Structure 1
Amino acid sequence: MATKSLYPKILLPINGEQHFVRKEEIAFLEAKGSYTDVYLGDGRQTRISKKLKSAMEILGTEWFVRIHHSYSVNLSFVESLRNGENASIQLSNGMTLPLSRSRKAAFLKFFQRL
């Protein structure tokens, strides 16, 4: 089992180079089978060879929350919530992510504790 990193930065492969990235720069994660796509707030993205669950364990759950089977979001990037049958979350970088019904209550609970 992966352990949560105590360091504020993680090493990510971006455009053929290894970059040290602060965790708070990560906007959201998207599951892609045995891989996870990592999207940064500045528009850069990369794919890592870890499942979403493992990536979440490394990042910790203080600011990252699972919002869908395929998505985890950094709460500091959340701008708005669209309710309804197809609930979604609008991020500060312009992206819109789906919010599953089964994870909505847990998502809202994070904001109640802030």
Structure 2
Amino acid sequence: MAFYVDRGQWITSELLNWPPLRVYDNCSGAQWLAVADLVYLEGELNYTWLQFADGRRILVPYTLKRFEAKLPSSWFIRLHRHYLVNRQFIERIECDSTSPAFYLVTGAILPVSRRRWFILRRQLNFQRKVVQ
């Protein structure tokens, strides 16, 4: 079973006007990065990987919980204890016998925790389509 997300309803200037994130990288130093280009965040203990639309992946020494508080909650949703995803990059959600997964337009596949799945189904407006 697959759910497709209607992406046209989310186009707004709120995310584009959100203040950029200040990220420090050992190679390039401090830099300001646009929140609208952030595809997903992956938490790993006390560190977080930031995955951007252009393929950049940056490791920062902050927890995922800290980023969740700073990012707009209407755009970034928590899928799992390790993942926070930008709604504008979600292509579809598929449910198989094991667990649901979010498929992003970038080709990434992110798992959804069982407890969060029922909350996410209500939070997002899904259109159910049969995949053949």
Which interval holds the TM-score relative to the shorter structure?
0.7 to 0.9
Structure 1 gaps of 5+ residues are 1-5
- Identify the structure with bigger relative contact order (alpha carbons < 8 Å, sequence gap 6+): 2
Q: Residue 11 of structure 1: which of 7, 22, 25 is its match?
A: 22
Q: 2:78 aligns to what SS in structure 1?
A: strand
The letter of the residue matching 2:19 is P
Once the 2 structures are TM-superposed, how far is the Cα of residue 14 of structure 1 from its aligned partner? 4.7
Match 1:91 to one of 104, 125, 128: 104
Q: Distance in 1 between matches of 2:90 and 2:25?
A: 24
Mapping for residues 1-114 of structure 1, pairs under 5 Å = 7-14=18-25, 16-17=27-28, 18-84=30-96, 85-112=98-125
Whichever residue aligns with residue 21 of structure 2, its letter is: I
Structure 2 segments unaligned to the other structure (5+ residues): 1-16, 126-132
RMSD: 1.7
Counterpart residue number, 1:3: none
TM-score (norm. length: structure 2): 0.74
Moved >6 Å (runs of 4+): none
The amino acid of 1:86's aligned partner reads S
Q: Deviations over 1:24-83 (max 9, x none)?
A: 111001111001111011110101111111111111311001101111111111001011
In the alignment, residue 13 of structure 1 is paired with which amino acid?
Y
Q: Which amino acid aligns with 1:28?
A: Y
Residue type matched to 1:9 in 2?
P
CA contact (8 A) 1:14 1:45 kept: no
